[in-house]
Amino acid sequence: WVDGTPAVGSEYVYVGSNDGSLYALDKATGTEEWAFTGGGMRAPTLVDDSVYVPSDDGNIYAIDAATGTEIWTFETDGRPRFCPGVADGALYLGTNDSNMIYAIDTETGDEEWAFDAPDSVSCPPTIVDGSVYVGTSQYSSHFYSLDAATGTEEWRFTDASGSIWVSAAVTSETAYIPCDDNSLYALDI
């Protein structure tokens, strides 16, 4: 089954599948152009000529968008289940079982930094004005602001009484955080 939002390029639609493959489909006809097989593939992110896709095998793959050729693989300490965010030459993603948030160089696949959150990273990150915003679930339900360049914690919001399952909407002044405690939190940042 398809587990996540497809990424759409000028020629192809890229979709991750639980059968272990990332597919490139012709936008006009739906014809399969290529397939890349890893673990259970999740929602991809398309940036320029590369598709970045998290996998249940614990890896994040960088794939050439035109050919389906692997560019690099980064092995995480858990399962990166959400589409990564990309900004300023770095890819940002979290894992939902090892509680890590990573920044990875988009060209080389090298780790730039890792932040150890106290709980499961439960949503894709939002990157705005040099900060990475991401929420956690289950036991802590924290919402973090991290410096995008260093991974240093800038601040955390701990007053939510439920899990933060979806990305926050962030402007230069406010973070809007949806929570499964039936609340929407608006924070001055």
Give the model confidence (pLDDT) of 40-58 as tens digits. Answer: 888 899 999 999 999 988 8
**What type of residue sits at position 17?**
S
pLDDT at 82 over 70: yes
User: Rounded to whole angstroms, how far apart are CA atoms 146 and 161?
Assistant: 21
User: Rounded to whole angstroms, how far apart are CA atoms 128 and 154?
Assistant: 13
The arithmetic mean of pLDDT across residues 155-170, rounded, is 89
| Separation in Å, CA 138 to CA 11, 21, 121, 141, 144 | 40, 29, 9, 6, 15
43 SS3 class: coil
Q: Which two tokens stand for residue 169?
A: 């909407």
Neighbours of 70 (CB within 10 A): 12
- In the sheet that holds 143-147, the strands lie side by side as 126-128, 131-135, 143-147, 153-157
The arithmetic mean of pLDDT across residues 124-145, rounded, is 87
Q: What is the pLDDT of residue 152?
A: 96
Q: What is the pLDDT of residue 100?
A: 86
**Judging by DSSP bridges, how do beta strands 50-54 and 45-47 pair with one another?**
antiparallel
pTM score: 0.90
